[in-house]
Structure 1
Amino acid sequence: MKLQYNIVSENNLSAYISELRLIEKDITYPLEDGLDSFFIDHGEDYSPFFTQQGFKTRFLIILDNDKVVGGVVGVWKRIIVKQKEYNALYASDLKLKKEYRNKGVVKNLLWYLFIRWPFKKDFKGWDFIYFCAMQRLGRGVDATFTGGHLGRLTKHQSLLNIYILKSQELKQLNFKKLCYEPKDEINLSPNLKNDIMWNEGKKNIVTTKEKSLLKLGHINPELFYLENIDRLNIAINTILEKKGAQLCFAVDNRNKFVINQLEKQGIDTQTKCKVFSFSPFLNPFNYSDIVSLSTGEI
């Protein structure tokens, strides 16, 4: 299968948007470990969800005889760990038409990029790559990393618990008990402009069973720091005031303090996401014990 690849910025994406949106409506992602699922719609402009996250964005379009059959997005963002700045490349939104899945397309794509990376200026400018993989029955896309798949070079860094809470649950929670003093934490969402991210129109999440749009208020993970309790309370009240809105946030599985406090208050989740990384250099994940990430960027 001989496919072509075209790498464009958001300014040259318009010719591919309609086909990319058709592909993503045919892809579902798990909720509650597969008990329900959702599909994504990135909207008419498609790119704002990605460009809001970093300082550079590139869209790799996979073509078969000039027909769009898939794509992946790269977002460059600056991350600070231990007072040192790194350029992270967030690989996201991998999608393929159904008939092209499980045929080695992703493996070949990774080799295409890997071989050209040292020689193409537009591929450079990063210290490490990371990506997120939603889990279904304990398995994600990483299960396909076999044989000569370059995905085997990546390292599993974190398992995130993803919580989606309705207003009734919010009213009963004591959020002050969830706040903690951060230590050795890597924040993969450092460029958030607001304490709540509403992605409606940029990344609509539609449930498969009910075909309903989830109105998710994704809160800045830094709001759980002790020093930010007042900002957290304001954010919670803002979400409560929006009709039909739900709170969404992620907690690293190793952050036992927050997870235990949630469980004590009757809050659990089976919605999981793994974070993987690759770095040919010194990986900043080595200096952190906990991964912090806004669900509004997954």
Structure 2
Amino acid sequence: MRKKRNPQCSMELHYVPHEICSQLSGISQWLDAHPQFNDWIYEDLSSGDKQNTGRNGLSAESVLRAALLKQYLNCDYDYLSFVLMDSMLFRDFCRLEPNQRPSRSSLHGLISLLTASTWERINNCQLMTAKDQGIEKGRTVAIDSTVTESDIKPPCDSDLLASSVKEIADNHPIYMKFNAVDNFRRKTIQEWAEHALKKGVRAVSDGLSCFRGIEDAGCQHTAIITGGGHASMENELFTWVNTMLGNVKTAITGTYHKLDPKHLGRYLSEFNYRFNRRFDMPSMISRLGRAAVNTAPMPDRLLKLPDVQWKPG
């Protein structure tokens, strides 16, 4: 039988004179101030429970806290299971009962039931807290660009890869968007921004002249001249957008033997899709199934057509 929370568990964490203890204590207090989270998590878990009988499983509150702890530690489920057996601090944070020793498979199965819509609602509450405390308004988009090389077209004739990453209060990205555009002209970036950005959003760029087109599209624009070389990578505002550019290059070149520019949009769309839905990866299977059922049959020649990439105008 699953509960929403364990009322017998203490709300106080096992004290350890370390920064991690202070940070987890702050997170725990914020979670306690939003009890509605437990209701949302319970609904997700109930949809996956075959029957609500038997011995007590992890409460909805414990599953949420275990999921957040996994992200905080940036670890896999095997290590998460170990620390929840070994550490009194982490057990207190997750509000586990004395006899609860969740296994790797149990943690994975429960956390994977949490839906993307639930995570989005929790993220929105976090953003509202940040706004109320004057920490972050949540209307900043970091923008950068890079040139794609291929064995089909030389670098001087390559497509420009425009990217934007929306960030939350702790500077971790929520969503990202990659598009291949034709050139570095201000008008092109203006039309891209009108297509990709919501009016009024604040965008931060590295000062490339074409990014002034963002202002022409009705968005706020802050240009930070970073220069070139290694020093340009040290600005914290661009940490994640530079990381995502590096990740997508590594993913594409490490997966495919050849990059054909006419299909570049499809490569980028795949990366966008997986990243923006990473909070609910199991749902990709059902989404793929629905798409397959609802897509009409088509010959091989149509499947191989170049992608209709975004164009200005």
Same fold (TM over 0.5): no
TM-score calculated relative to the size of structure 1: 0.27
Larger radius of gyration: 2
Of structures 1 and 2, the one with the larger relative CO (CA 8 A, separation 6+) is 1
Which has the larger share of helix? 2
Query: TM-score, length-normalised on structure 2?
Result: 0.26
